[in-house]
Amino acid sequence: MAASAGAQLERRSSERRAQSMAREEERGGQQAADEELNKDGAAAAPKSQSGGPSEMDQMKEKFAKLLLGEDMSGSGKGVPSALALSNAVTNLAASVFGEQRKLEPMAPDRKGRWKREVGWLLSVADHIVEFVAKKQVMDNGAEMEVMGTQQRRDLQANIPALRKLDTMLLDYLDNFKERNEFWYVKRDSCSESENEDSRSDEKWWIPIVKVPPAGLSKPSRGWLLHQKELVNQVLKAAMAINANCLMEMNIPDTYIDTLPKNGRASLGDALYRIITDVEFDPDDFLSTVDLTSEHKILDLKDRIEASVIIWNRKVHNKDGKSSWGSAVSQEKREQFEERAQTLLLIIKHRFPGIPQSALDIAKIQENRDVGFALLESYSRVLESLAFNVMSRIEDVIQADNLAREKAKREAPPPPPPEGGATAAGRRDAQEAGEESGSTLLDFMGWTGDSEERNDDSSPPPPPEMPAQDDGRLMKLPNIMTNLKQTYMEKLDFLSGNKSPSGRH
- Cα distances (angstroms) measured from residue 504 to each of 295, 384, 453, 454, 491: 100, 103, 17, 16, 18
Angle between helices 370-410 and 108-122 (to 10 degrees): 150
Segments of 163-307 assigned E as strands: 183-185, 208-210
pLDDT by residue (tens digit) across 289-315? Answer: 888 888 999 999 999 999 999 988 888
Report which of 184, 219, 126 is spatially closest to residue 396, judged by C-alpha positions: 184
> Measured in Å, how far apart are the chain's first and last C-alpha atoms?
187
Q: Are 302 and 357 in contact (CB under 8 A)?
A: yes
Total-model pTM: 0.68
Report which of 352, 344, 251 is spatially closest to residue 294, judged by C-alpha positions: 352
Report which of 17, 113, 89, 87 is spatially closest to residue 361, judged by C-alpha positions: 87
Strand partners, 151: 129
Higher local confidence (pLDDT), 72 or 254? 254
Task: Please state which of the ranges 26-30, 353-357, 430-434 shows the lowest mean pLDDT.
Answer: 430-434
Angle between helices 108-122 and 153-174 (to 10 degrees): 180
Quote the percentage of the chain above a pLDDT of 70: 66
pLDDT by residue (tens digit) across 208-264? Answer: 888 888 888 899 999 999 999 999 999 999 999 999 999 999 999 999 999 988 888
* Cβ partners under 8 Å of residue 47, min gap 6: 53, 54
Q: How many helices (H) and strands (E) does the chain have?
A: 19, 4
